[in-house]
Amino acid sequence: MPFRRKKISVIGSGQVGATCALMLASRGVGDVVLLDINLGSAKGKALDILQTAAVQLFDSQVQGTADYADTAGSDVVVVTAGSPRRPGLTRDDLLSINAHVVASCCREIKKHSPQAVVIIVTNPLDAMCFVAKRELDFPRERVLGMAGILDSSRFRTFVALELGVSVRDVQALVMGGHGDSMVPMPRHCFVGGVPLTELLEPARIEALVERARRGGDEIVKLLETGSAFYAPAASVVQMAESILRDQRRVLPCAALLEGEFGVSGLFVGVPCVLGGRGLEKVCEIKLDAAERTAFDYSVGRVQALVDDLARLGL
Ligand code: APR
């Protein structure tokens, strides 16, 4: 069989999508197709990224397009298309706009890349995963949402800053829904093998948890226009790389639960093994009473989002 490089399509060439494309190409994960309804944006950014290859020394091809035919046969498709949060746009408006965008993207993905693993990034994440799964009708192994890596990398960053240590030696697990109902698990956070709970007082840990929980809002306020994109893109790339290189990394991702943690039919952030088939395994861990309460609350928030979809006829 002739050698075929991995193919990754990124839908949406905005801040997150274009940054994903740049990082994927730079890391040589595979050839990248960047698709947007705005053809000029997709083509211009793809060409700009391709022109970094001579300096960054990578061989990946990068193509910009508005035509899904160019994405055909992708191994991984990342969906970042959608409208960002804007002043004056209600939560329901955003839910409705992005549900339509994600549904239309997924119909095309299903047609052109029926074997792909699809990673959803568009917010509100847990609801968009639900819409994507319904449209794609792919097995749950091939529909995932990016959330937990970003939430936990924010928490890890704040822990490293607080302790003045390398973030490389800070491990953390964040579960539950994306955003302010996320459930950081300090009991499962380690700094060079030492439990975080032995290094910081509970009140300090709670302050860092709170900052991570509001991590997205902090950046939105600073930027004034738009939302975070470097860390979200880097988190997507970690998931895509683990799948495309069959690394079997254990990463917190939004996955469709089928009874794990006592939840069925909802996308919730849980520790996942990601490999060549996509979701290889959901790692079920025991929750203590406080973690259970926080997790159940978070699952309730995800359920409320899904109920909102039904209420709005989406
Ligand atoms: N098909 C393809 N692309 C689309 C479509 C569509 N139907 N609708 C919108 N887009 C494109 C826009 O043209 C734009 O280029 O999606 C892109 C979105 O980019 P940005 O507005 O820059 O948003 P970004 O910051 O990249 O965030 C994208 O990721 O983290 C989440 O909350 C964030 O939901 C948001 C998404």
- Tens-digit pLDDT string for the chain (314 aa): 778 899 999 999 999 999 999 999 999 999 999 999 999 999 999 999 999 999 999 999 999 999 999 999 999 999 999 997 777 778 888 999 999 999 999 999 999 999 999 999 999 999 999 999 999 999 999 999 999 999 999 999 999 999 999 999 999 999 999 878 899 899 999 999 999 999 999 999 999 999 999 999 999 899 988 889 999 999 999 999 999 999 999 999 999 999 999 999 999 999 999 999 999 999 999 999 999 999 999 999 999 999 999 999 99
Q: Which residues line ligand 1 (CB under 6 A)?
A: 11-17, 36-38, 41, 80-82, 84, 101, 104-105, 121-123, 226-227, 229, 232
Query: What residue type is 104 in one-letter code?
Result: S
Chain-centroid distance of CA 12 in Å reads 14
Nearest to 313 by CA among 31, 69, 9, 96: 96
**Phi, psi values for residue 236, rounded to 5°:** -60, -45
DSSP single-letter state for residue 259: S
Going from the N-terminus, what domains does the chain have, and what CATH number goes with each? Answer: 7-145 (3.40.50.720), 148-311 (3.90.110.10)
User: Would the CA dihedral through 120, 125, 128, 134 be positive or negative?
Assistant: positive
What is the whole-number distance in angstroms between the Cα of residue 83 and the centre of ligand 1?
Answer: 5
- Whether the upstream peptide bond of residue 124 has omega within 30° of 0, thus cis, is yes
Q: Whose CA is nearest to atom 20 of ligand 1?
A: 14
Tell me how far apart the alpha carbons of residues 89 and 110 are, in angstroms, rounded to a whole number.
Answer: 30
- How far apart, in whole angstroms, are the C-alpha atoms of residue 278 and residue 280? 6
Structural contact between residues 78 and 105, judged by C-beta atoms closer than 8 angstroms: no
295, 183 in Cβ contact below 8 A?
yes
| CB contact at 8 A, 53 and 59 | yes
- Around Cβ 139, how many Cβ atoms within 10 Å? 12
Using CA of residue 185, residue 305, residue 227, residue 71, what is the dihedral sign? positive
Q: For ligand 1, what atom is nearest to the CA of residue 17? A: 26
Report d(CA 89, CA 92) in Å as an integer. 8
- Inter-residue contact 30 to 23 (CB < 8 Å): no
Question: What residues act catalytically?
Answer: 178
* Helix, strand, or coil (residue 5): coil
Nearest atom in ligand 1 to 16's CA: 26
